[in-house]
Structure formats: C-alpha cells, structure tokens
Chain A
Amino acid sequence: MMEYSYVINKDDYANAGKVSTQIKKILKELGVPPEVLRRMAIACYEAEINMIIHSYGGIIKLSISDQISFVFKDKGPGIPDINMAMQPGYSTADDRARELGFGAGMGLANIKKVSDEFDIESSVEGTTLNLRFNIL
C-alpha cells in the first residue's frame, strides 16, 4: 500500500490542476491501463477544482494497493443538497469561477460517471468524497 497526501487551499486558482497533474504522473509511473488512467485523471481533476472553488480547503489522499482510492476531504462549508449538486448542469459557482471557465455544473455528476465506486458525505463541517477504481 502506498499513500500520498496533498493540501488544497481555498480559492487557489493559480495552482488549479497541479495536484491532479502530479497524481496523473504517479499513476503513469505505476503503469495503469490507459482506459482507467483516463477516468482517474478526469475524476481527480474535477474533484480538485471543486475543492478550490467551493470549499474552505482540504486534503487529497491517493492510496495505491490492489485498487486505487482517492479521498477528497475538505473543511466545509458542506453541500446543502447533495442530490441537487449531483444533477448535471446544476452549479453554485460564483462569477469569478465561471469567468475562469470553471463551474459548468458537471463536476460531481461527471466524477460519479467515471468512478467505479463513488461515495459522498457532507455536513457543515465539511465534505468527504471517496472514489475507488479497480485496476486488477
């Protein structure tokens, strides 16, 4: 089992995608099949951007064993209505995020679509997104 941990800061648009790029590099070094790699890259990127736009910051954890799991854990403010947030096109992103080309409201729905297992929990204390991908 190998674990990697990264800190994500609120509103850190300047570094958006950097953690996902590092994770993508690690997964390439491991040598996962391109089809799974593609899905993991997209999910990780979307979730990282979500964290930057919507949360007060948090951490991303990558665990590599017989399967690959991601934990995206933020410090709040939580998602008031997860079902609503899962709807494609639904977005609470502010104008700034939209100006930068983010916040189209496809994030969570997209992540769920590409993940093998998807699990989300949210309260005002924070949101935790668990993703798993089968590689064996």
Chain B
Amino acid sequence: MTVISYTLEKCQKCMKCLHVCLTGAISLQDARVKIDNEKCTNCATCIEACVNQGLQAKGSTLADLENYDHTIALISTAVLGECSTLAQAEELMMAIKKLGFDEVINLSSYDGAMYEEMRRYVGVNRQQTTLVTSFCPTINRLIEVKYPILLSNIVPIDHISEVAARDIRKRKDLPSNTGIFLLCECVAKLTLAKYPYGNKYSEVDHAMVIADLFPQISRNLSSERLSTTINEKGLYNVTSNLYTKGFTDKNVVVADGLDKVVKALELAEFDRLKDCDLLFLSGCINGCIGGNLLWGNPFSSFNNVRQLMKETNDTVADINNNDLYGVTIASSFNEKISLHNRLANFIKINEIVEKLPGYDCGACGFHSCRAMAEEILADRATLTDCRILKGSEVNEDK
C-alpha cells in the first residue's frame, strides 16, 4: 500500500519520479502519475525527486486529537537526533506535548529493548544464512517485491511503534478511548498506523509527519521541559554508524541508503555475505536519523546523537521478549499462477520486448521497455506509443 499522494495540478509531467523508482512502481498514464500499490515500497525517492511537490506523503493532523479522551504521542527515537543534549530533548518533548497531547513518550527504551533482543536472536538463530534486520518498512517491502529469495532471512522482530503501542495498551490505568499517535521521521513508518491509511491491525491509531508539525513545535519551544530518559542502545538502533557497537563478537554488515542496500541485497542473493551474521539495512542515509521527514539532516543528526550519548542511560523497556515479535512480511509470490502460464506469458512479453528499442527511456510513460511490453500484452498500449519507434517510422507489421 502506498501512502504517497498525487496532485495533478502540481505535476509537471517531467517523469523524474518514474526514473528514480527502484521497483518500477510509477507510470504516467492518461497524463497522470500512477503509483502501483503492489510495487511501491514507500521509500520516498520519488517525493525527493519531485520538483514541484506533486507527490507528497500526508499524515493525520492535530484535528484528529479531538476524537479521543486521552492522547499519547510516540516520538520516534530518530527524532531525538534533532537534539544534542538531554535538556534540548526534554524541551522538544514539552513543545510536542503542548500541541495537545496528554502524554509524550520517546521510543528509545523500546528501541533499546529491540536492540538487545536482536543481539540475543542473532546469537541463538544464526545458522546457514545471513539474517536481515526488520525495522525498516521500506526494506521489508523491497525484499518482498524485488528480493524474494531473502524473505526468510528477515528477523521477525516487529516494528518498534507497534511493540510500544501494544505495551502501552496493556496499562490498567489507560482510559478506554485512548488515541496513540506516532510522530514519524520517514514516509515508510507512516504506513504502519490505522489512520490515515486504513491498516486494520495496527496498534497505532494515527501517524503524523513530524516535519508538518515543526512550525508549531518550534513556536512552542521554551525552557520548559518534560522529564524523560534516553536509552543508549535505543540510539544505536537508529544510527547506522553506531549499530555495530553492541555486536563485538558478531560480524554485522551495515548498509544505509538505498544504493548500498541494493548492493548488499544483490550480494546476499548469491549468498556472498554468508560470513556476515547480520545485515543491518536502512533505506535512509545514516539510519533512521536520516529520515526524510525530519527537519535536520543525516549528518548533523549523527553529530547530535554522539553528543546525546553522554546523557543516556541503559534501562530498556521491560517487555516480554515474545511481545517484541510479530512482523508479518508476506511473500508477493503468487502461487495461484501456474508456472506453465508464467512461462507462456514470459515468452509473449519477450517477443514484444524484442520489437522495442531497449533504451528504457520512459518516454512512453512506462519505466522500461519490458513494462511497456507488459502493457501491450494486456492491450493497454500499442507499439505506436513508443516514441523511439515512432521517430524511426513504425513498421506496423514488424
């Protein structure tokens, strides 16, 4: 499911989004950008490439707070990367509380618990294959869509916001109509909540874009603080340069940013990373602290985190280990389509591909000649839609 919305009026049809998409999820049809939900990984590369804000991710708004008697804001640990001291973090959390939340909880102690469980899990479960971290929803989707060989390598530890929300809902003093809001640092994490995207099974009610709230947060900032603690290992969990710190006896390969991730996944499919116990994969540069919905940047955030490390504690959230698990990543492989049919289809598509120029220029509105061939086979396009063939006199009988 994609959380990326499209505004026709703002779209210049420049097709930059189409070219940068890793999974070929974007096409231009009937002069509109279309995003294929089956392929989109919510990596937000298209949003970054869009020159005119035609593509954007939208979250819930503060107006949604009114539907609840009690509201809790969960602050992604990565957001703490905006602060270089505990005092700043406490001021930030107070400013967020003033947006209208009854409680504000930073997720670092949950991230810390997850980090420790990951260490334990790798120690116990490392066998033949390299294990892959599961905290990044974009990576999980990318593996599902493009690297199906590696699906079984993903450690089934759940997303931290789900773990935290589940834990909070167990509290006996919690009013019945409590709304849990996740303030997200990246587009991928927006996908996890019930609203605005309609996930049925999420424990988180609403996901919000932290950058959208920034102007108000900024106005609310003062010397007033909300007392909190920051867990050291929680920071490791969201910072690629620190992740290996706790794995002194393990071989952990860190790949941050989609370029590195793709390289690592290609190698892992050939089992070329078998000497590595755990593959830490983050779609964002420098880990979650490089989230594209933060107002800082991955590099200054890393410096901040290093400063912040001086004021951390080591108390992780007290969660039953079993409650940390539960991420479900379905295989996108459709077993209902027989291999006979796949083969027949594959041959037909290849026959059409042979007639196309093979430049993958995208001018037809599809990201590759192969994608175009699939459309032609489905009668949604014709060879004459190819600009290159048209330019060099299309031979209809070809």
> Does B272 reach chain A (CB closer than 8 Å)?
yes
> Within the complex, what minimum Cβ distance (angstroms) separates A88 from chain B?
14
Whether A64 is near chain B, meaning CB under 8 Å from some CB there, is: yes
Of B82-90, B302-310, B331-339, the segment with at least 4 beta carbons within 8 Å of chain A is B331-339
Please determine whether A2 and B270 come into contact, CB atoms closer than 8 angstroms: no
Asked, given contacts A21-B266, A37-B149, whether A135 binds B271 with beta carbons under 8 Å apart, the answer is: no
Q: Any chain A CB within 8 A of the CB of B370? A: yes
**Is chain B's interface secondary structure helix, strand, loop, or mixed overall?**
helix
Per the 8 Å Cβ criterion, residues 311-366 of B in contact with A are 331, 333, 335, 337, 339-340, 342-343, 346-347, 349-350
Which residues from B are CB-within-8-Å of A17? 270, 272
Chain B nearest CB from A35 CB (Å) reads 8
Give chain B residues whose Cβ lies under 8 Å from the Cβ of A38: 149, 269
B50 interfacial by beta-carbon distance below 8 Å: no
Known: A34-B151, A136-B340. A24 touches B346 (CB 8 A): no
B residues less than 8 Å from A135 (CB atoms): 339
In the assembled complex, the Cα of A136 lies from the Cα of B338 at a distance in Å of 8
Beta-carbon contact of B333 and A29 below 8 Å: no
Give A29 to B146 CA distance when docked, in angstroms: 10
Main secondary structure of the interface of A (DSSP, over half): helix
Kindly state the separation between the CA atoms of A37 and B146 in the bound complex, as whole angstroms.
12
Taking the closest CB of chain B, its distance from the CB of A107, in whole angstroms, is 12
Residues of B within 8 A of A (CB-CB), count: 22
With A31-B333, A33-B333, A34-B149: A41-B340 Cβ-Cβ less than 8 Å: no
A105: shortest Cβ distance to chain B, in Å? 15
* Chain B residues with CB under 8 A of A66: 343
Whether A2 lies near B346 (C-beta < 8 A) is yes
Size class of A's contact patch? 20 to 34
Q: Given contacts A29-B370, A37-B148, are A24 and B269 in contact (CB under 8 A)?
A: yes
Contacts of A72 in B (CB 8 A): none
Q: Smallest CB–CB gap between B269 and chain A, Å? A: 5
Q: Do residues B270 and A45 form an inter-chain contact, with CB atoms below 8 A? A: yes
Which residues of chain B have C-beta atoms less than 8 A from A33's C-beta?
333, 335
Query: A59 at interface (Cβ–Cβ under 8 A)?
Result: no
- Is residue A30 within 8 Å, beta carbon to beta carbon, of the partner chain? yes
Cβ of B339 and Cβ of A2 under 8 Å apart? no
Known: A2-B350, A21-B266, A45-B272. A34 touches B333 (CB 8 A): yes
Cα(A135)–Cα(B337), bound, Å: 13
* Pair B270/A20 contact, Cβ less than 8 Å: yes
Which residue from chain A places its CB closest to the CB of B331 in the assembled complex? A34
Closest to A17 in B: B270
Residue numbers in B under 8 Å from A41 (CB-CB)? 149, 269-271
Bound complex: CA of A32 vs CA of B271, how far in Å?
A: 18
Chain A neighbourhood of B266, CB < 8 A: 21
A42 interface contact, C-beta 8 A: yes
Interface residues of B in 37-64 (CB under 8 A from A): none
Measured in the bound complex, the distance between the Cα atoms of B387 and A84 in whole Å is 57
CA–CA, A11 to B340, complex, Å?
A: 39
CA distance A45 to B331 in the complex (A): 24
* Residues of the A chain whose Cβ atoms lie less than 8 Å from the Cβ of B269: 24, 38, 41
Contacts of B370 in A (CB 8 A): 29
Report yes or no: A31 in contact with B342, Cβ–Cβ below 8 A: yes
CB distance from A112 to the nearest CB of B (A): 15
B272 surroundings in chain A (CB, below 8 A): 17, 45
CA distance A96 to B73 in the complex (A): 57
Q: What's the Cα separation between A21 and B266 when bound, in Å? A: 8
State which of A20, A37, A42, A64 has its C-beta within 8 Å of the C-beta of B343. Answer: A64
Contacts of B350 on A, CB cut-off 8 Å? 2
How far, in angstroms, from A42 to B151 measured CA to CA in the complex?
Answer: 16
Scoring A residues 33 to 60 as 1 if CB is less than 8 Å from chain B, else 0, what string do you get? 1100110011001000000000000000
A-B contact sample (11 more), CB < 8 A, given A32-B342, A45-B272: A2-B346, A20-B270, A24-B270, A29-B349, A31-B333, A31-B346, A34-B148, A38-B269, A41-B269, A45-B270, A65-B343
User: B-side interface residues toward A, CB under 8 Å?
Assistant: 146, 148-149, 151, 266, 269-272, 331, 333, 335, 337, 339-340, 342-343, 346-347, 349-350, 370
Contacts A/B (CB < 8 Å), 14 sampled: A2-B350, A24-B270, A31-B339, A31-B342, A32-B342, A33-B333, A34-B151, A37-B148, A45-B270, A45-B271, A64-B343, A65-B343, A66-B343, A136-B339
Residues of A that sit less than 8 Å from B by CB: 2, 17, 20-21, 24, 28-34, 37-38, 41-42, 45, 64-66, 135-136
